[in-house]
Structure formats: C-alpha cells, structure tokens
Amino acid sequence: MARIIISAGHDLKDPGVVALGTTESREMILTRNEIVKQLELRGVDCIVVPDSLSRRETIRWINANAVPGDVALEIDGNAFNGSLRGAQAFYIYGNDERQLDAQLLLNALLQEIPELPSRGIQADIHSPNRRGLSFCRQVAVSSVLMQLCFLDNPQDLELLQNQREKFAKGIAQGLIKWSGQTPKTPEFPTINIFIKQQKYDEKGILINSNAFIPVDLVEMLGISLTDRENIRQISYGNVVYVKAVDLQEFNIAASWENQTKTVILNSLPRTLLEDGDQIMGMGNATESQLKSFLEKNNEDGLKQFPDLPRLYIEEAENEGVNHDVAFCQMCLETDYLRFGGKVKPEQNNFCGLGTVEASAAGATFPDPKTGVKAHIQHLKAYASTDMINETPIVDPRFEYVPRGVAPSVYDLGRRWNPDLEYGNQIMVFIKQLYGVF
C-alpha cells in the first residue's frame, strides 16, 4: 500500500484567500486535520506536511521524505468575486493516469457532498500565466491538487464549515482508493523517443506515468537547464533525466503514444508563436484539432454546440480574423463552454459581449452562428480598420469600438477585459492549442 502525503494550501505566514471573516490557510488546515482523522480511523498510513513551510519548501520536503509509490494531495480554496461555486482537481498536463486519479478524488468528494457543484478536472496549465502548477509538476511522486470550494461564496463556505466532516470523509475515501494502487517498482520501464519523425537511439524512462528523457538530448536541442531550478532532474542508472513535458516552455511540444510507449518531441516554428498573438490573419488549427482541444478540456463541451469549431473557422475566414485566437478566447470566456457566470449557454454569447443598454447578463443572439459572427466582428473592430465583409453587422457594440487599436491579443487588456493580463491569458490557451504549454 502506498503512503498518503497531504498538504494544506498556504502556510501559517501566508493566509491565502481572505474572505467572509476567514482565511484559506485556516479552512484548509482544519479540513486537512479532519481528513487525517478519517484516514487514521481506517488504519491508513498518512504523512502530514508541516504547516510552517512555504509552497517551495513543501515540495522540497515531500521530495525528501517520499518513497516510490507514495501519493501526494494538496487541498486549496478558491475565490472569484463571490459569484462562482464548486470544487475541481488539477493534474499534470499530458498524464492520463494522473487525470484518472484527479477524477477519482473529485468523484469521491462529490459523492459525499452532492450539493457542491463540480468544476471538473483540469490539466495543471489551465490557469493563466503558469508553466504548470508547481505541486502537480515538481512533486516527485504522484500528485494532485484539489480546490475544494470558493471561499468568497457564502454558500460554498457555509457548506465547508458546516459539513467539514463529510468533505473529509469523501476525500479520505478517494485517497484510500488512489493509494491502494500497486506501488511502482523502482525498476522504471524504458520508452522510445522520437524527434519529429526520427527515432532517437537512446531510451527514455517512465516514472509515475510521466515520460522522462536524457538531459543530453535536451542539450542537443539547444536547451540549457543549468539555471532552471523549477525543472526537476533525476538520476537513474547513472544517467540524468528530465520530464519531457517540462520542455514545453521552450516551445517543444511533447506528446505520448501509449500503444508503442513512445514520447514524441516536436519543435514548433518560431513564426507560428511569434504571429500567434495577431488577431488578423489565418489560423493554423484544423476543425478536428479545435474539437479535440475543446473535448480534452471539457468532454461535454460540444454536446450543445457541435458545430462551433466549424463556425469559428468559417466566420473568421470571412473577415480575415485568426480563428485560433477567436476560438481560444471563446474557451477562456466560457470556461470551455461550461459557462457558469452571468452569461448562460442559451444566449449564444461566446465572448462576453455586452449590450448598448448595459444589461448585466450581456448580449443574446438567436443562434450559435450569429453569436460567433458577432464575436468575430468585435475582434475585427478592435484589430482592423477594414470594413466588414459579411453583413449585416450583428455585434451590438461594433460602432462603439475605436477601430484598429488592438492588432494583438496583448492589446485587449483594459479594453475587452479590465484585467491587464487578459492578453497573456488568451496566449496561454493558444499555446495549449499548439501543444507548447
């Protein structure tokens, strides 16, 4: 049986979210203590990370004390202006086994607290401006991060405080199932390595379902990791290895072919990323790639809007707009078509468009095609001074936009959205679409 390592998000010096008369660190420590109690009642071996450690120190502590086969969980709270609710779990990008583990933990929690909304599971790079959540990415053993609820939402907080034992019971049951996996043997299986279409002679290894490649190969690709403390290296059989997925921040796409046990490395053309922020121009993704990208992040995303990828390609092409940018902005604005905010799916409003009357719910369109057309027209209004090719103009705010002031997604911050980092957030999604983040 694997041991369970559990960490409460934020340390005693860092309160985290402060809302509604409490703090994230307080609520997570209390919940963690209850989880430990539930585990001990069931005779399950668990290890508690000291609350005095920072995030970086926590990861170092776990890596120093864990042994192969252990599993690690961190519990966090969430916050977003008090309007959102629900629990979600994060796993390391590209790891199918960890994805199943995250789903197992979330399902176990929701089974005990069915009134708690589910926000699903997400790869650790889903949040903007992250090269992977460090707890998912840098912990040496299998790890998952859970956000239990929104602490600034009165309903969520009341649920956590009044039913903390049930929260703990659900998570404990999930942890027991997860840790019941057969511990991994220190003899790591070897894997094949392909660089584009060419097979690389040296083998990689598979650790906790993550592909690792020799550091010598990384240097052959022109990447130096000597000063990158955040990228963990391991020594095995007198060879130093690094996790293949960690090369994504260097514009190296890493994909996994399970049938042949092969990690495939591809470098994207620099021009693809250099021009990827431009709103006007041709997109690169196919309809099939857009569908796969959406379904990977929300398997139910296309059930209500099956034609959306095709509509974005067609409407963007009509106006000379980059459909990759538009589609990724849609994914950001709607949380991969989960919606969840003030805008509802039936409004066919995929980009948070407002109305002239300043309606709190935003604009409503009669069908998805019109909603996509309005989105494309609004992007063109910001990015270009050219006329609309396909009339009529259905964007209710088209004439109020100063034309051509935002040719790049980086220019949309403080314009489309009040967040200065809004353009960076869109670029995170674009890089995910291209497989480089």
The last residue of one of the domains, among 133, 158, 179, is: 179
The angle at the Cα of 181, spanning 187 to 258, to the nearest 5 degrees, equals: 60
- In this predicted structure, the answer to whether residue 132 has a pLDDT above a threshold of 70 is no
- In this predicted structure, the answer to whether residue 183 has a pLDDT above a threshold of 50 is no
174 shares its domain with 318: no
**DSSP for residue 246:** G
Number of Cβ within 10 Å of residue 187's Cβ equals 9
Asked if residue 392 has a cis previous peptide bond (ω within 30° of 0), the answer is yes
Average pLDDT over residues 3-19: 89
356 shares its domain with 395: yes
Q: How much is the pTM?
A: 0.59
Name the one residue in this structure whose structure tokens are 């995303």.
Answer: 301
153 shares its domain with 18: yes
234 shares its domain with 355: no
Condensed to tens digits (0 to 9), the pLDDT of residues 33-71 reads 999 988 877 778 789 999 999 989 999 999 999 999 899
In b/e form, how buried is each residue of 246-282, taking b as 16+ CB within 10 angstroms?
bbbbbbbbbebeeeeebbbbbebeeeeeeebbbbbbe
What is the residue type of 366?
Answer: P
Q: Considering its fold, how many domains does the chain have in total? A: 3
284 shares its domain with 156: no
The DSSP-derived string for 289-347 is HHHHHHHHH-TTHHHH-TTHHHHHHHHHHHHTB-HHHHHHHHHHHHTTTT--SSS-GGG
- Asked if 197 contacts 101 with a C-beta cutoff of 8 angstroms, the reply is no
160 shares its domain with 285: no
- In this predicted structure, the answer to whether residue 314 has a pLDDT above a threshold of 70 is yes
The DSSP-derived string for 173-210 is HHHHHHHTSPPPPSSPPEEEEEETTEEEEEEEEEETTE
Residue 101 falls inside a structural domain: yes
318 shares its domain with 404: yes
263 shares its domain with 277: no
- In this predicted structure, the answer to whether residue 114 has a pLDDT above a threshold of 60 is yes
Residue 54: which residues within 8 A CB-CB, separation 6 or more? 11, 13, 14
281 shares its domain with 226: no
9 shares its domain with 104: yes
Strands 71-78 vs 4-8: parallel, antiparallel or unpaired:
parallel
Residue 366 falls inside a structural domain: yes
Residue 203's pLDDT band (cuts 50, 70, 90):
very high
Condensed to tens digits (0 to 9), the pLDDT of residues 364-401 reads 999 999 999 999 999 999 999 999 999 999 999 999 99
Closest residue by Cα to residue 164 from 154, 149, 145, 143:
149
Domain residues for 301?
Answer: 273-434
Structure tokens at 38: 């539930």
The last residue of one of the domains, among 141, 159, 179, is: 179
Residue 185 falls inside a structural domain: no
- In this predicted structure, the answer to whether residue 342 has a pLDDT above a threshold of 70 is yes
CATH number reported for the structural domain that contains residue 114 in this entry: 3.40.630.40
The last residue of one of the domains, among 234, 250, 267, is: 267
45 shares its domain with 16: yes
80 shares its domain with 120: yes
